[in-house]
């Protein structure tokens, strides 16, 4: 057993004991009441999930094992000569609960490089899809094709005890994460670069190798990838991709099947697809106004027009956050250092100045501030990754780190099948009638 796996096992054993005693002493305490409105309106705010890897505060934003994004940028190990955190380090932090050393991070990088070989049939499955297939669909299909490699599925069929589940889920997690950049880069080169593929470079870290396989060898783009793959990794457990992965995993579907479920959710425009929508929205605005850089007044008018047409302003709003997303701020800081003069970047900043008061004035949007997706596309465009259809795949590669670390915890803690209660409107009407009489 590798030492990261051993450390994880030891941490999980401690946590199992702690949860057992918590449940014995406090299992009957209420976490709050559920209203009829919450049941109808996307279960907002209902506390019903345990996710150990990160916690979201509506004003402060995400904290991974207690660390904010600015803290992670400072504390996590970096690549040689780099300033941005290595996502390998965030994965270690989410899995183990402690800030890793450089050695821990190098160990994970090396493990992933060793396991990165993708079997040929996965490429054949991708090739069988029409080239016009959306990259996210290709990605989901490829993850499912890779499921043939699941050690958990095989062991489960052969018969294993519940106590061993975590072990195989951990192994699948490490292999799946190791292979995702190769699959994603393959889809990118297939769809946009005439199938002119680039072989992996085993000497590079996970993000730099991903950048290299997509065809980007600029050092500052590699830094962007390290930051991007770190900040998109996790956003506690209730968002669609994390919840879907956890839910499907609770049926003991293996990590490949569970992660594919998360990715089909990430592909939705209200979730991970928003990053491509943002850049399209900006480009459509520029085309309509016939300018490279619209003025703040023009942007304000365009936002009002978007709202009047009954459409959302992509990249703004959030189901939980009520302030500017620190993931937006981290990207803005990166852009200030690396590309402050870029016209799309400047437009993103101008939208940030004018959109919040307009959105607030509608009186219905609970969070008028930008989310992570409002900035990412502008940075990618700056470096020449211009194919916005592909952006959600990048998000997906990153999201694997959080949702699969969580899946390891789910199995290590022996979490059961998820099965919340649903009601019919008829049931609600009867309930209300009884309550009114009482």
Among 39, 55, 312, 413, binds ligand AMX (CB under 6 A): 312
400 to 255, 262, 375: CA distances (angstroms)? 10, 9, 21
The contact mask relative to ligand AMX for 254-293 (x = CB under 6 A, - = no) is ----------------xxx-x-------------------
Residues 278-283: contacts with CB under 8 Å, at least 24 apart? 278/314, 278/315, 278/373, 278/374, 278/376, 278/377, 279/344, 279/377, 279/378, 279/381, 279/388, 279/391, 280/314, 280/388, 281/306, 281/313, 281/314, 281/315, 282/344, 282/347, 282/348, 282/351, 282/377, 282/378
- Is the distance from CB of 96 to CB of 8 less than 8 angstroms? yes
Residue tagged active-site, from 243, 246, 318, 375? 318
Q: Is residue 373 annotated as part of the catalytic site, yes or no?
A: yes
Write out the binding residues for ligand AMX, residues 313-332 only, by CB under 6 A. Answer: 313-319
CB environment 9-20: b (16+ within 10 A), e (fewer): eebbeeeeeeee
Which is closer to ligand AMX, CB of 11 or CB of 366?
A: 366
- Examine the residue annotation and report whether 271 is marked as an active-site residue of this protein: yes
Nearer to ligand AMX, 317 or 377 (CB): 317
Is 254 part of the annotated catalytic residue set? no
Q: Which stretch binds ligand AMX (CB under 6 A): 145-153, 203-211, 256-264, 306-314?
A: 306-314
**Any residues with CB less than 8 A from the CB of 281 and at least 6 apart, and which?**
306, 313, 314, 315
| Least Cβ distance, residue 26 to ligand AMX (angstroms) | 30
What is the phi/psi pair of residue 295, to 5°? -75, 170
- Within residues 222-251, the interface with ligand AMX by CB under 6 A covers 239
Should residue 216 be labelled a site residue for ligand AMX when binding is judged by CB under 6 A? no
Least distance to ligand AMX, CB of residue 349, Å: 17
Stretch that binds ligand AMX, among 7-15, 84-92, 330-338, 362-370 (CB under 6 A): 362-370
Selection from 238, 357, 342 nearest residue 292 by Cα: 342
Of 141, 140, 205, which is closest to residue 178 (Cα–Cα)?
205
DSSP-H helix ranges across 309-390: 326-338, 343-361, 373-382
Q: Is 84 a binder of ligand AMX (CB under 6 A)?
A: no
CA dihedral 95, 97, 101, 103 (to 10 degrees): -30
If the CB atoms of residues 221 and 395 are measured against ligand AMX, the closer one turns out to be 395
Binding mask 392-431 for ligand AMX (x = CB under 6 A): ----------------------------------------
Residue 43 Cβ, how far from ligand AMX at the closest point, in Å?
11
Residue nearest to ligand AMX according to CB distances in the complex:
317
In the complex, the smallest distance separating the C-beta of residue 267 from ligand AMX, rounded to whole angstroms, is 11
Active site residues: 271, 318, 373
Binding site for ligand AMX (CB under 6 A): 239, 270-272, 274, 307, 312-319, 364-367, 371-373
């Amino acid at each position: 057993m590798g030492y990261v796996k051993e450390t994880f096992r030891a941490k999980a054993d401690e946590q199992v004991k702690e949860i057992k005693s918590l449940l014995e002493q406090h299992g009957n305490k209420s976490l709050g009441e559920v209203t009829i409105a919450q049941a109808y309106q996307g279960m907002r705010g209902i506390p019903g999930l345990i996710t150990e890897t990160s916690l979201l505060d509506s004003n402060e934003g995400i904290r991974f094992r207690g660390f904010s994004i600015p803290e992670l940028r400072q504390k996590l190990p970096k690549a040689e000569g780099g300033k941005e955190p290595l996502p390998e380090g965030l994965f270690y932090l989410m899995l183990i609960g402690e800030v890793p050393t450089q050695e821990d991070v190098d160990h994970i990088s090396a493990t992933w490089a060793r396991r990165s070989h993708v079997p040929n049939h996965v490429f054949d499955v991708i090739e069988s899809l029409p080239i016009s297939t959306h990259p996210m669909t290709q990605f989901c299909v490829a993850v499912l094709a890779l499921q043939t490699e699941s050690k958990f599925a095989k062991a489960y069929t052969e018969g294993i005890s519940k106590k061993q589940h975590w072990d195989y889920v951990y192994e699948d997690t490490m292999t799946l994460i190791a292979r995702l950049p190769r699959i994603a880069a393959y889809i990118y080169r297939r769809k946009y670069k005439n199938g002119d593929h680039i072989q992996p470079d085993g000497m590079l870290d996970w993000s730099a190798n991903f950048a290299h396989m997509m065809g980007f060898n600029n050092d500052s783009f590699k830094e962007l990838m390290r930051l991007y793959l770190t900040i998109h990794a996790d956003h506690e457990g209730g968002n669609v991709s994390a919840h879907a992965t956890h839910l499907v995993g609770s049926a003991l579907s293996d990590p490949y099947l569970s992660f594919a479920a998360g990715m089909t959710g990430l592909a939705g425009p209200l979730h991970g697809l928003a990053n491509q929508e943002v850049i399209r929205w900006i480009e459509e605005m520029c085309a309509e106004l016939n300018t490279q850089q619209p003025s703040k007044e023009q942007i304000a008018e365009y936002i009002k027009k978007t709202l009047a047409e009954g459409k959302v302003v992509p990249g703004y709003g959030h189901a939980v956050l009520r302030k500017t997303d620190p993931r937006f701020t981290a990207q803005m800081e990166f852009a200030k250092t690396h590309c402050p003069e870029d016209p799309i970047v400047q437009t993103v900043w101008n939208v940030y100045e004018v959109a919040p008061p307009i959105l607030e004035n509608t009186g219905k949007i609970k969070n008028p501030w930008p989310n992570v997706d409002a900035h990412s596309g502008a940075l990618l465009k700056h470096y020449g990754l211009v194919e916005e259809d592909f952006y959600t795949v990048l998000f997906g590669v990153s999201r694997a780190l959080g949702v699969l670390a969580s899946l390891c915890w789910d199995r290590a803690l022996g979490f059961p099948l998820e099965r919340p209660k649903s009601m019919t409107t008829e049931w609600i009407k009867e309930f209300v009638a009884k309550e009114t009489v009482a």
